Structure 1
Amino acid sequence: MAVPRPAAGTAVDPVGLEPVDEIVVTTLVDNVFDALLAGDERTTRTPLGVGPVQAPQFETGTTTVGLMAEHGFSALVSVRRGAVTTRLLFDTGLSPDAMVTNAGRLGIDPSDIQAVILSHGHWDHAGGLAGLAGRRGVRSLPMVVHPMIWTRRRLSVPGREPMELPTLSRRALEGEGFAVLERREPSLLVDGCVLITGEVDRTTEYERGMPPAHQRWTGDAWEHDPLVIDDQALVVNVRDRGLVVLTGCGHSGVVNIVRHAQRLTGVPELHALIGGFHLSGTAFEPIIGRTVDALTGLAPGLVVPGHCTGWRAQHALAAAMPDAWVAGSSGSSFKLAAPAGQLPD
């Protein structure tokens, strides 16, 4: 297994990431749904009132609902360059139903999805693939993954019975019609406008990965799996704004991920950071301060921590970056566009 190496300076083989005019990130699944959150010029919220759905206990036999929330993450990424818009699905949530249910309630047609990217193999990011296959008819739908995504893993917490995690099956996915594309290296999609990072360089001293309870099967024995080597992120460069970085869980370390994206692309500006930052729980709360300090120094215009970020980190990020931090929620859309009135080169 190749292990990411700390790397300084510019990339030996830099990625020429073409700028886009606009990206819209719509959170299809997050750990929370809050119908009372307010939107703004770049944020659109989903209120209560989606429906109607069957509910015989009411006089009309129906009710209106909001969106589903669960311990998982999924986002629809719509990238526009000129008159052309491409829609990508980044992760699929925990359960077979939540992502496709929420997409349906938001009026999103699964047949519009042109490719799927999985941030890593954990089941709370891949569980919705079954629902997608059932709704879309996914004949030859490209799916970009790291080759270690099939790793068998478990949680072995002292004093408890080990819990083996669901492991993705390449055979099953290909049988459903997904065209699986394995890459360790960075990948460019959508005519060079979307970067999938591949393996992320681990350059910070404090982002050390998962605790000893997180283990992988080597073929002979269970061993500590700190790196989650298949962890990768999606990156877009909004013209004259900077990078938009979308993470699943951020197992590589969210600061490592941003630095890696900056180094690969040569674009120093971080415009937005969205997704799971994995700062929840006793193993990760000690690094909240250093992570927040580093992200504050990067001065992003928008920070939307979700999923596994944790409430302590949310409070710290909101306090440190009050103008950039925005609460996440299933059904929230974040529109990031190039400055108006400027033409691309």
Structure 2
Amino acid sequence: MEASVALRPVDGVHVTTLIDNYTDVLLPDEGPIRRWGAIGTGGRAAPVPDSISISGQTVDGLRAEHGFSALVELRVAGAVRRILFDAGVTPDGLIGNLDRLELRPDSFESIVFSHGHFDHVMGLDGVARRLGSTNMPVYLHPDFWRQRRLVSGPDRAFELPVPSRSAIEGVGFSIIEGRQPSYLLDGMLLVTGEVDRTVPFEQGLPNHQAYVSGEWQPDPLIHDDQALVLHVAGKGLVILTGCGHAGVVNIVRYARRLTGVDQVYAVLGGFHLRAGPVVTETVTALAELSPALLVPSHCTSWTAQQALAAAMPDATRPNTVGTRFEL
């Protein structure tokens, strides 16, 4: 493959799940995976006061919600550089978990949004309130601002909350839009931009619509869906998705083509893989790539997770809030 984007290798990358749909404090560490909770070494719950226990104290816990957010830490030449990828769904969910994990949002160099759906965006509210006036850059696709809805019947539609450009800019964030691939942190982190759709079985979200030119129109492909890509020296590509509306196979193939790196080390994040023949096709395609680690998260159905685990038992691992993948 001929690379069209230069991507500098890093010594390692840590990906910490800040928001996801699941929490489990009883999972142990496993290889490069550090679990948060009673058994793992990724951190434990702090005591909080209560009024019904003998001691007057119980323990706090990380919050799970239908959304996604991750901290990405690049490690190179002894230095650590941090970016935030997505922000979860509730105003206080992300900032609450950052506090529980003792992570400061002012340590982030930038924020990247995978797409404009509210379950990946609205946690920015709490971060903005904590930071106050800031000029932190925020990277996103131009379609991020679209008004959207999910249609479930002739008279049934759920309109998604829409992020406000003026509100985000009003608290000082510096918005940087782009459809094309771009790289951050001195060329060590690639944002895919709009992903080429080449895989026939990845058809997007059929009941998804966008309000364009004064009317609701079909918008199954959700073109603003983008991913992060890193190259760990000697290991291969680490690919982090938000929802994977572009199709996880499309995303992985696009990342390989952009970087010229064939080896896939890890694929983590939401795959938006629900049910039907697309699950079988996706499992087959991913198995052919033989990633060392596969972490289906957020909007990936139980059926799809089971199929991936059955096909790639040595690679597939569950995600939970607070888990840190040390790659």
Q: Given the two structures, how large is their TM-score scaled by the length of structure 2?
A: 0.96
Q: Which residue of 2 aligns with 1:113?
A: 108
Equivalent residues in 2 for 1:51-90 (5 A)?
Answer: 51-90=46-85
Q: Which residue of 2 aligns with 1:165?
A: 160
**SS of 1:275's equivalent?**
strand
Report the Cα offset of residue 117 of structure 1. 0.3
- Supply the distance in 1 between the matched residues of 2:7 and 2:197 (Cα, whole angstroms): 22
Q: Residue 203 of structure 1: which of 198, 202, 221 is its match?
A: 198
- Supply the distance in 1 between the matched residues of 2:50 and 2:140 (Cα, whole angstroms): 40
**SS of 2:84's equivalent?**
strand
Q: Residue 256 of structure 2: which of 262, 265, 277 is its match?
A: 262
Letter in 2 for 1:292: V
- Supply the distance in 1 between the matched residues of 2:276 and 2:32 (Cα, whole angstroms): 30
Aligned length: 322
Please tell me the root mean square deviation across aligned C-alpha atoms, in Å. 1.3
Q: Which residue of 1 aligns with 2:210?
A: 216
CA contact (8 A) 1:73 1:125 kept: yes
Q: Residue 182 of structure 2: which of 187, 196, 199 is its match?
A: 187
1:311 and 2:302 correspond:
yes
1:332 and 2:323 correspond:
yes
Letter in 2 for 1:312: T
**SS of 1:50's equivalent?**
coil
1:37 and 2:32 correspond:
no
CA contact (8 A) 1:285 1:313 kept: no
CA contact (8 A) 2:122 2:163 kept: no
Q: Which consecutive residues of structure 2, in runs of 5 or more, have no partner in the other structure?
A: 39-43
- Supply the distance in 2 between the matched residues of 1:75 and 1:86 (Cα, whole angstroms): 14
Q: Deviations over 1:304-330 (max 9, x none)?
A: 110001100110111111111111000
- Supply the distance in 1 between the matched residues of 2:27 and 2:61 (Cα, whole angstroms): 12
- Supply the distance in 2 between the matched residues of 1:42 and 1:250 (Cα, whole angstroms): 24
- Supply the distance in 2 between the matched residues of 1:17 and 1:335 (Cα, whole angstroms): 20
CA contact (8 A) 2:293 2:315 kept: yes
CA contact (8 A) 1:120 1:149 kept: yes
Q: Deviations over 1:260-303 (max 9, x none)?
A: 000000000000000000012xxx43300010000000000000
Q: Given the two structures, how large is their TM-score scaled by the length of structure 1?
A: 0.91
Q: Which residue of 1 aligns with 2:272?
A: 278
Letter in 2 for 1:278: H
- Supply the distance in 1 between the matched residues of 2:262 and 2:180 (Cα, whole angstroms): 21
- Supply the distance in 2 between the matched residues of 1:132 and 1:173 (Cα, whole angstroms): 11
- Supply the distance in 2 between the matched residues of 1:235 and 1:285 (Cα, whole angstroms): 28
Report the Cα offset of residue 95 of structure 1. 0.6
Q: Deviations over 1:145-165 (max 9, x none)?
A: 001100110112115532211
Letter in 2 for 1:194: L
CA contact (8 A) 1:279 1:285 kept: no
Q: Which consecutive residues of structure 1, in runs of 5 or more, have no partner in the other structure?
A: 1-8, 337-345
**SS of 1:156's equivalent?**
strand
Percent of paired sites with the same residue: 49
Q: Which residue of 2 aligns with 1:239?
A: 233
Letter in 1 for 2:229: V
Q: Residue 301 of structure 1: which of 263, 276, 292 is its match?
A: 292
Letter in 2 for 1:271: Y
CA contact (8 A) 1:285 1:312 kept: no
**SS of 1:157's equivalent?**
strand
